[in-house]
Structure 1
Amino acid sequence: MAILFALVARGSVVLAEFTGGALANASTISRQVLERIPSGEDSHVSYSQDRYIFHVKRTDGITVLCVADDAAGRRIPFSFLEDIHARFVKTYGRACHTAPAYGMNDEFSRILSQQMDYYSNDPNADRMNRLRGEMNQVRNVMVENIDKVLERGDRLELLVDKTTNMQANTHRFRKQARRFRNSVWWRNVKLMILLILLLLVVIYVLLAFLCHGVTLPSCIR
């Protein structure tokens, strides 16, 4: 399976989780990750542990985390996290902000299991994710090794999603490109007018030479 473990939490309080059993210490490491993520900050971040990647999405105080093989890439795990977050909030609403630990586990662990299987094995999932990736800005998510972070005991350095900055840069680039196109267009218009005027002057000078004067007397007669 591409996705091996998943949980939903409020802060460090786990509300529901499901494991495929391939990674024995996934639950323990996931709790260490939850405890070190600053509260109140929305984020999309990934951390590595051996050949496994811990992907985290925190939005409005609810954290969704999954563990995937590094071969799964980033697109499928983060699409899974967005799907799970939307389903969880839609199902429980404001209750998820006050529920006790594992308060939704009996019901929602089955949904975690179903969606893990879908995103891991159904080819339609990747097809849908590829379409989403073409429609939405691709998130740049960097990876930091969990072992190094936990060994030094420091606060995890969150690698925050760069989407907002990328969108702002794209908007500025489009405005600059539009100004550049307008500038080039006006410059071409002015150049065309100048060439037409120059051509008219050349024609007049040639006629004046052929007609023996600037008033073109011989030609007018």
Structure 2
Amino acid sequence: MGQQSLIYAFVARGTVILAEYTEFTGNFTTIASQCLMKLPASNNKFTYTCDGHTFNYLVEDGFTYCVVAVESVGRQVPIAFLDRVKDDFTKRYGGGKAATAAANSLNRDFGSKLKEHMQYCVDHPEEISKLAKVKAQVSEVKGVMMENIEKVLDRGEKIELLVDKTENLRSQVLIPVIALQVSFGVFIINATLLMLPFRE
């Protein structure tokens, strides 16, 4: 994979870019900023394609992580890059400096980190691919587990209904049994009294 596969990256709080990195010139920075303005605020991943490039975004907890990549790279490497950057950024600045930082004020500290993450992702595409497969498998397992939990919960409701019905049946059957036991007890007492020898 060529070194030019990831060409621009930034981290923003809302629409304020806090740190960015690129070694290239072009209109991709303008397009990336325009897309940032139009992104929904919900936590999610977004990819836009324009002029042979993908503009990949990860929005989480008010921060947006972006990487512009050559379209031929695919989605795995850019998404892995975004995950790495988000984790690193959150460890360094979570809940602190980033919440109030001015535009481009984290460039000196975090711009070099963006470069390192770009280089790592470009140099290790096989590892990124394996990691993406593992994440996909984990997501699939999560999905199956959620389905199973929903089925168990549905069954739980059905089991509760069965328990209620069983309790009702039990109480309905118990009354005649108790009555039978009482009447059988009275019969035994009467029979015993009849069998007692009569003395005068």
What range is the shorter-chain TM-score in? 0.5 to 0.7
Structure 2 gaps, min length 5 = 156-200
Q: Give CA deviations for 1:68-89 in whole Å, capped at 9, x if unaligned.
A: 1111111121111011011011
| Aligned residue identity for 2:147 | H
Go from structure 1 to structure 2 and tell me whether the alpha carbon gap of 1:124 and 1:31 turns closer, same or farther (over 3 Å shift): same
Q: Which residue of 1 aligns with 2:60?
A: 59
Once the two structures are overlaid, the 10-residue window that deviates more, 30-39 or 167-176, is: 167-176
Unpaired runs of at least 5, structure 1: 139-165, 180-221
TM-score (norm 2): 0.65
- The aligned amino acid for 2:84 is D
Tell me the amino acid that sits aligned with residue 87 of structure 2: A
Contact 2:28 2:68 in 1 (8 A): yes
CA RMSD of aligned residues (A): 2.6
Match of 2:94, SS state, is helix
Displacement of 1:132: 3.1
Equivalent residues of 1:89, 1:96 under 8 A apart: no
Structure 1 residue corresponding to 2:21, chosen from 7, 18, 22: 18
Question: Following the alignment from structure 2 to structure 1, what is the Cα–Cα distance between the partners of residues 114 and 75?
Answer: 18
1:15 is paired with a residue whose SS is: strand
Distance 1:48 1:127, change over 3 A: closer
> 1:28 aligned to 27, 30, 33, which one?
30
Aligned partner letter, 1:92: Y
Structure number with bigger Rg: 2
**Matched AA of 1:9:** A
Query: C-alpha displacement at 1:49, in angstroms?
Result: 0.5
Length, aligned pairs only: 148
Matched residue type, 1:37: L
TM-score, length-scaled by structure 1: 0.60
1:114 counterpart = 2:116: yes
Write the mapping of 1:199-214 to structure 2, written as runs, cut at 5 A. Answer: none
Q: Is the 8 A contact 1:55 1:77 kept in 2?
A: yes
Matched position secondary structure for 2:139: coil
**Aligned runs of 1:150-165 on 2, under 5 Å?**
none
